[in-house]
Amino acid sequence: MVTDRDICCSVVADGLDPRNTSIEKYISADLVTCRDDDNLDKCEQAMQEHQIRRIPVVDDEGRCIGIVSQADLALKDKPEKVSRTVAEISKPGPERPTIAA
């Protein structure tokens, strides 16, 4: 998976031209996902724990059937809960691979 944030924070920040840069090096292979039968709380906890802004939703066969984003949470959750999630996701931490930012 690769996101617009991956492109901005990696490719463009490195001074590379996205039109001429192979995306292979910027793809996240070890994705954190939620299942289609998980509830929103479990999805939000995974986003907080792994500090990711988007999380793919997969079916029983591991196929992506959707994506939940911070914006989706903002539309469904109480403002206090969304605020906590954004704070957790945005905490500075050690360098880590890009995961569905």
Whether 33 and 56 have beta carbons less than 8 Å apart is answered as: yes
Q: Which CATH architecture has domain 31-90?
A: Roll (3.10)
- Domain limits, the chain: 31-90
Q: Can you spell out the DSSP letters for 86-97?
A: HHHHH---S---
Helix (H) or strand (E) holding 68: strand 64-69
Kindly report, residue by residue over 17-57, the tens digit of the pLDDT.
888 888 887 777 788 999 999 988 898 899 889 888 889 99
Residue with tokens 């403002």: 79
At residue 59 the predicted structure's pLDDT band, cuts being 50, 70 and 90, is very high
